[in-house]
Structure 1
Amino acid sequence: MWEWDTTRLWKKVREFVQKNDYSSQDPLTWSRELEKHCYGDLSYAQVQASNDMEDQSQVEIRRDATFVGVYDGHGGPEASRFICDNLFLHLMRLARENGAFSEDNLRLAFSTTEDAFLNLVRRTCRINPRIVGTGSCCLVGVIWRGTLYVANVGDSRALIVSLDRSNKIVAEQLTRDHNASIEEVRQELKSLHPDDSHIVVMKHGVWRIKGIIQLARTIGDVYLKRPEFFGAFPKFSSISLCRPVLTAEPSTYARVLQPNDKFLIFASDGLWEHLTNQEAAEIVHNNPRYGVARRLLKTALHIAARKRDMPYKHLKPIEKGIRRHFHDDITVVVIFIDYHLLGNGISVPELSIRGGFIDIIGPSNSYIPQVRGPLSEISNPVT
């Protein structure tokens, strides 16, 4: 990707607008407008901005559970692709061994995936040196036995949207943004590194850990976590580290779903750069389910274009790579919760969807702990 140059960027924009039919669909978007899961419907959409799609994601629909994963990579797609290939399988193995989902299982799935990626880096760093500098946010949600489990590292975000007593929608953020732009995160870092006055540094108007990265928790980024790789990433080889400055420890959350819970939104931070929690909730609530994830995505892209004083139709023909100067890769998954379906044992086709990739329909080898008994018997979280 060529370096940032405003004059050159706008020249490129004009060239693309002149030679492309911008009335057509955005070629960098992908969506599944509406699918069934065991507790309702879901809608799923993505847009690519980078040369290599760094947002990886998946939805796994089974008879008794729904799994969502959003993995927002940086420094390259290696870490986010690895998570997409491995984390769900680790979680299923743990569920099989323990006979249940739990927050502890989620934490262990994260740490197991982190360790496995470290092993990959050790095996391949000589032939692919830049892999030491790739990492990813990781956001996971599981609905099982009437309970929602969520875990995350990084700043992808999950919301649950409910109706209050006056029938107004309320958007509740379920995840912590592990980002140095947040005062609470900076204070946490300073308390963990009291002898390092430069643990967070303002650089180019943005708070960064050691002047390098905004994210305080990730999977990957081994050059900031493992002493054997300190100084191994050429771009930041001059940065002196005495001990790890990032962690892969997730924040977790569990909640028994209630009749007033209406839907969930899982999205990478590219969406939240342009929409507030409440704005996203209102869009979903006030529009048909069909295609609502794509509607959220397009709303964010319209706003991103307006920030550059251009209409979205002029943004659509701009190719990947150059598009990254206007917006990030974005993934959005909306999960509707039809409470009357919880515990009813309604059969839906098993389905595995990876954003923009292959769908797999049919029997799966992935184990999901089975639900038995009416909803009244399974309404408490398993922890």
Structure 2
Amino acid sequence: MPSTISRRRLLAAGSAVALAGTSGCLDAIRDATGSDSAIGSETGNVSGERRLRLSLSRQSGTLADHYVTDFEGRPHWDEEAFAAAVSGETYTTQLRQPFFARDDPKYAKHDGTYYRLGSVVVGEREETHPVLRLRTVGSPDELDSVPDHTAREDLPEADQHAVEIAHMAARARGNVGGVPVGLVERGGYVYRSDEGVEESRLLGDSGPSHVEYRGKIYAVEVSRETFYEPIYRAEVEPVADSPAELEAVLRARFVEARFVRGDLSTDERSLLRDARGRKGYGESHPYSEAYRSVLKRLRRRAYIDGNIRKDAFSEPDRPSVVLYDGEYYEYYLRFVTDDGS
């Protein structure tokens, strides 16, 4: 499934800021947010009319097809964790989280029973790991004196991976932007596996002082630092004894709204039909009665009468699911202009 902001949240926020910068839309902002306080001081110009677009994308198969785990092809420790937990034994891991169930739970089938897979933190462990940081020296053709160095491709595999990650942190220092969360740690790369440490040349006392990667020379800096790492205990709980029962569990967990064609007005059905098309369905504020009704059913009232510039950030990172006449759809909401941007 650091913290990053999802693309949809950025788009929604950017759209709201741009909306606030259009002097001709001040009344619309007051209507949409219910407050003059939502109007910022931005002065940028926006061409085209802002619309809130709803898009529905049909999800093939059942929810079980997307959330039930097949242990074949997964890391061996997941299978070991599951077998131990089902047998009533305690299985713990350090650093890695069993079943990769950080954001959404996973499910598995065993002997006709479906289980929910997860984990809980039961402690911490103090560890010392080497940390590789790189400091940019420059391109060889820019330097008066090129220091002795080793090319990344001439290093062991563990070091090649470390250099690739650490160079991202070096590249980002002093520049606008960021680094991949979950890869870069403490401004560099942390060697956590014993095999990687034993294989490494960069960590040795006689290792190279500089490396070359992508046309630049980097100075190598290595330190050994203390980490406090979580200890996870695998958790496996039975939740269903049949596919139908499991599907009911997953609907309760993941489906945010349900539409039944017979309960909808003609305008609402037409709106949702357009939302399933390639271009989706959009309206500018003030929204029609049908669109307001659909947004309420989707539990997105903030787009109707909330502070849009603030509440747009409340959207979940993963796509939301609706059930429409027995079929599952992922839905997205975003602000667009007439040109679709």
Q: TM-score, normalised by structure 1?
A: 0.21
Q: Max radius of gyration: which structure?
A: 2
